[in-house]
């Protein structure tokens, strides 16, 4: 244990020191802090997008979901994540980069007005905080299983480390430390693939892959896999951390190409984690290893029982790097939205502390991270929080965004009506459904209306209702309303 402890401490020391050193490039300007002065080149952008996409919560979730529900549950997750980046590159990266936005809610203000900006900002800040909680869940389990540090103290400890360099350097520090973290992620994925091949785990997966109809045959309900694909594929299009990097590139073409590279890279990195989930069931049975996904993620149980240990340590460092590289970007994006779009601080506004937006963005990181810690302690289920976070975005923010970019008839009444209809539908169905993504709904549930078989349907239904409402209202109000921007 002392070797992995030394490696983890060394990893965090390097990241924190590099992040603090790079923070001097902020130069007291909020635009440097939030979008790195719009100077990210292709290699850096592709690396930081890939590092942002692959986090430990999704990798642990990939293995858990695949182990419990089959190959296509894991495939839905990774295809959704990678597919979202490719879709952003195809349809959104160039036009949004040209708009010179600071945060994604700025688009909603320019297109639909202040009220829409405020509503979307609250939804996005909530979604990002939940996602950060998912990253902390993964880190908590890793520290508990391999370092002997209890779950919630581990979460507090890691949060403090991430906050140190993120608060100091913003995207300037994050984009460069992401490159270091991505190296660890790639080495960890390669080590895991070596173990998969060495243990002969590939031989057990052909049946699941050869039957795509099982995409609709999840043990949690036939709609769950489709819901996962939609939440991570379309809900992720309005991911504030992805868009933060799209806005920060040196030119529109850079953001487009970087999204393609990151999307393909995300899918490739996810493959070995799916293979472990599909194949480890037979391995656990063969070696008589007890496994309980509810108590410990399947991947961590697997890593506790494989040799050589050096590969296990490499994979663990990769998982930690994946979680940290995602959490830092989300903390920055959520705090920037809170200070800029909700509280109204603008770039270049100065007081005795200097740039007011820079100061408030740093200050807002504390409540954002505090709420994320509560989420991680309340819902310690790998993979679930990330899906839920994008499920929330899909319900209210995705349709107004997509149509706002690509439909000339999009207008303010349609956007607001669509947002309200989608979010209220999702909230109502959440309250009435006893499970979400196979997890028992202990948060807010009213018995007697729906069964677990309905799980997944709310995710699909909410944006569809939002789409119908948007088109109908836009058509009715077309003569009296045009886009604000």
d(CA 234, CA 323): 22
Q: What is the pLDDT of residues 385-421, one digit of tens each?
A: 888 889 999 999 999 999 999 999 999 999 999 999 9
- Report the percentage of the chain scoring pLDDT > 70: 92
Tell me the pLDDT band of 102, cut-offs 50, 70 and 90: very high
What is the enclosing helix (H) or strand (E) of 474?
helix 457-476
Residue 223 lies in a domain: yes
Whether 421 is in a domain gets the answer: no
pLDDT at 210: 54
> Within a 13 Å sphere around the CA of 138, how many CA atoms are in the beta-carbon half?
34
403 compared with 446, residue with greater pLDDT: 403
The closest of 68, 77, 144, 70 to 296, measured between CA atoms, is 144
Compute the average pLDDT of residues 330-347. 93
pTM confidence score: 0.90
Q: Lowest-confidence range among 83-92, 357-366, 446-455?
A: 446-455
Which domain range does residue 204 map to? 2-394
For tokens 């303010």, the residue is 412
The candidate with the shortest Cα–Cα distance to 243, out of 463, 403, 45, 80, is 45
Residue 378 lies in a domain: yes
- Residues 37-91 pLDDT 10s: 899 999 999 999 999 898 888 888 888 888 877 788 888 889 999 999 999 999 9
User: Among 136, 48, 62, which residue's Cα sits nearest to residue 297?
Assistant: 62
Please check whether residue 483 lies inside any domain of the structure: no
Q: Are 473 and 414 in contact (CB under 8 A)?
A: yes
Instruction: Answer whether residue 334 is part of any domain.
Output: yes
pLDDT: which is higher, 423 or 283: 423
Rounded Cα distance, 451 and 441, in Å: 11
The CATH number of residue 231's host domain is 1.20.1730.10
> So what's the pLDDT on residue 405?
96
Say which range, 265-269, 288-292, 348-352, has the weakest mean pLDDT.
348-352
Dump strand ranges (E) for 373-437.
435-436
Residue 66: its pLDDT value, please? 83
Collapsing DSSP to helix, strand or coil, 354 comes out as strand
Instruction: Label residue 477 exposed, middle or buried (CB < 10 Å: 0-12, 13-18, 19+).
Output: middle
CA distance 447 to 429: 12
Query: Number of structural domains, the chain?
Result: 1
Q: Is the pLDDT reported for residue 380 higher than 90?
A: no
Give the per-residue pLDDT at 204. 59
Percentage of the chain modeled with pLDDT above 90: 48
Q: Identify whether 390 is part of a domain.
A: yes
What pLDDT was estimated at residue 454? 87
The long-range contacts involving 429-432, CB below 8 angstroms and separated by at least 24 positions, are: 429/454, 429/457, 429/458, 429/461, 429/462, 430/458
In a domain? residue 405: no
Residue 437, in any domain of the structure: no
């Amino acid at each position: 244990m002392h070797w992995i402890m030394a490696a983890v401490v060394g990893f965090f020391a390097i990241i924190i020191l590099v992040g603090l050193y790079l923070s001097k490039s902020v130069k007291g300007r909020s635009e440097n802090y939030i979008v790195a002065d719009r100077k990210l080149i292709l290699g850096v952008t592709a690396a930081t997008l890939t590092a942002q996409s692959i986090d430990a919560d999704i990798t642990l979730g990939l293995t858990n979901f695949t182990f419990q529900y089959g190959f296509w549950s894991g495939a839905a997750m990774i295809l959704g994540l990678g597919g979202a980046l490719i879709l952003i590159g195809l349809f959104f990266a160039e036009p949004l980069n040209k708009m010179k936005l600071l945060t994604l809610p700025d688009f909603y203000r320019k297109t639909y007005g202040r009220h829409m900006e405020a509503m979307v900002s609250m939804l996005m800040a909530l979604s990002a905080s939940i996602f950060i909680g998912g990253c902390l869940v993964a880190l908590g389990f890793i520290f508990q299983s391999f370092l002997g540090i209890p779950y919630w103290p581990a979460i507090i400890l890691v949060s403090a480390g991430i906050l140190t360099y993120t608060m100091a350097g913003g995207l300037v520090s994050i984009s460069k430390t992401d490159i270091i973290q991505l190296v660890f992620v790639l080495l960890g994925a390669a080590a895991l693939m070596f173990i998969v091949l060495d243990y002969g785990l590939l031989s057990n997966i052909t049946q699941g892959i050869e039957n795509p109809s099982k995409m609709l045959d999840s043990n949690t309900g036939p709609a769950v896999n489709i819901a996962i694909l939609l939440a991570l594929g379309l809900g992720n299009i309005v991911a504030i951390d992805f868009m933060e990097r799209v806005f920060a590139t040196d030119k529109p073409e850079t953001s487009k190409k970087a999204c393609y590279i990151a999307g393909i890279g995300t899918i490739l990195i996810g493959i070995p984690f799916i293979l472990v989930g599909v194949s480890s069931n037979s391995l656990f049975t063969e070696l008589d290893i007890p496994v309980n996904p509810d108590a410990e993620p399947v991947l961590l149980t697997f890593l506790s029982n494989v040799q050589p240990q050096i590969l296990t340590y490499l994979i663990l460092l990769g998982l930690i790097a994946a979680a940290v590289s995602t959490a830092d970007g989300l903390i920055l994006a959520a705090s920037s939205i809170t200070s800029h779009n909700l509280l109204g601080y603008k770039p270049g506004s100065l007081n005795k502390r200097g740039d007011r937006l820079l100061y408030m963005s740093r200050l807002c990181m504390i409540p954002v991270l505090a709420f994320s810690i509560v989420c991680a302690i309340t819902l310690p289920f790998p993979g679930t929080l990330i899906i839920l976070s994008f499920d929330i975005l899909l319900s209210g923010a995705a349709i107004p965004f997509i149509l706002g970019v690509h439909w000339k008839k999009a207008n303010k009444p349609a956007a607001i009506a669509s947002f309200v209809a989608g979010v209220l539908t999702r909230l109502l169905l959440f309250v009435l459904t006893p499970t979400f993504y196979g997890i028992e709904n202990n948060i807010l549930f009213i018995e007697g209306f729906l069964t677990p078989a309905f799980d997944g349907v709310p995710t699909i239904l909410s944006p569809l209702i939002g789409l119908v409402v948007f088109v109908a209202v836009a058509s009715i109000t077309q003569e009296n309303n045009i886009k604000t921007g």
